[in-house]
Amino acid sequence: MGTELERTWNQAARRYEDYGPPLRPSPQDIQLLRSSVDAWRRRTRTGSARVFLCGVTPDIVRMDWPLPVEILGMDQAEEMVRHVWPGDGPDRRAVVGDWLHSGLPDSSQDIVVGDGGFAFLDYPNTVRALMAELRRVLAPGGLFLYRHYAPGEQPERVEAVLSDAAAGRIGSFHAFKWRLAMAMQPDSRTGVRQNDIWTAWCQSGIDPNRLPQPGWSEQAVRTIELYREKQARLYFPTVPEFTSLLEEHYTDVEIQFPSYELGERCPHLSARPRA
């Protein structure tokens, strides 16, 4: 993660409570995650698990895990660890580190979990390297879990997204922000520059105060300010693109889609490491 992305996440850490689904996992996401872990527990007859969490998402940390776990959360942004992590305890701790160079021993984790954070890594090279690193630390028979952000099957036009927003047809500002970003991305390898998303919003002429949408609170709308003057990019590979890359190191890939707004673009992927 480059310095600019670190700065973005350090800023986001202080405003974490202003974010909501789909940028944060919803209760349905947590239920899908728990169900996947429980199915794995029953299939493998595992009594406890070591969990490597890519990030410090408190909703996942505090989940009602279906078995005893020891969680290691890792984030390169120090402020995320300081302000967002729910605190160390006997069964959990967080460290500042790089997912690509985790320093963990081979086969040392039973479960690896990520929630959307791979969108900040360039596709396909860095994401491919991360998939290999996570496979390295995952024990045989372990479980890979990730909530992905993917564009729709048919690319959206920016004008259509802005039209829906101006008409009050997008309930969540966070869903709008992701739809706009995905519509602006020419392809998965190019991604979209954060400052371009900010500029498109500023030029849209949309007044959020005149929209009949409770999900467009002042706090939510202001989260887009973090993209201002940022040259770092977001990458949204399609489900087939991401799955194809995932299958280089994993097998038995399963996909579930939540039913909330934009859930069709937030698939949950589970897989097992290849032998």
Q: What is the pLDDT of residues 89-104, one digit of tens each?
A: 999 999 999 999 999 9
Backbone angles phi, psi at 119, to 5 degrees: -65, -15
> Mean of the pLDDT values across residues 21-35?
97
Query: Are 22 and 260 a contacting pair, CB within 8 Å?
Result: yes
The Cα diameter of the chain in Å comes to 56
- Which pLDDT does position 119 carry in this prediction? 96
Determine the Cα angle at 86 with ends 80 and 91, to 5°. 120
Q: What is the pLDDT of residues 54-73, one digit of tens each?
A: 999 999 999 999 999 999 99
- Which pLDDT does position 10 carry in this prediction? 81
Is it the case that residue 5 has pLDDT exceeding 80? no
Q: How confident is the model at residue 130 (pLDDT cuts 50, 70, 90)?
A: very high
Percentage of residues of the chain with pLDDT beyond 90:
88
Q: How confident is the model at residue 11 (pLDDT cuts 50, 70, 90)?
A: confident
> Mean of the pLDDT values across residues 120-128?
96
Is it the case that residue 6 has pLDDT exceeding 70? yes
Higher pLDDT, 218 or 28: 28
**Which of 80-94, 153-167, 204-218 has the least mean pLDDT?**
204-218
Average pLDDT, the chain: 95
> Mean of the pLDDT values across residues 225-233?
94
**Alpha carbon of 178 to those of 39, 138, 193, 215, 223: distances in Å?**
31, 30, 13, 14, 12
**Which of 1-15, 127-141, 181-195, 210-224 has the least mean pLDDT?**
1-15
- Which pLDDT does position 173 carry in this prediction? 95
Q: What is the pLDDT of residues 155-203, one digit of tens each?
A: 999 999 999 999 999 999 999 999 999 999 999 999 999 999 999 999 9
3-state secondary structure string, 80-95? HHHHCCCCCECCEEEE
How many residues are given for the chain?
275
Is it the case that residue 1 has pLDDT exceeding 60? no
Query: Are 53 and 24 a contacting pair, CB within 8 Å?
Result: no
Give me 87's structure tokens: 């605190």
> Mean of the pLDDT values across residues 208-216?
80
Q: How confident is the model at residue 2 (pLDDT cuts 50, 70, 90)?
A: low
Domains and CATH numbers, the chain: 3-150+237-273 (3.40.50.150), 158-234 (no CATH)
DSSP 250: E
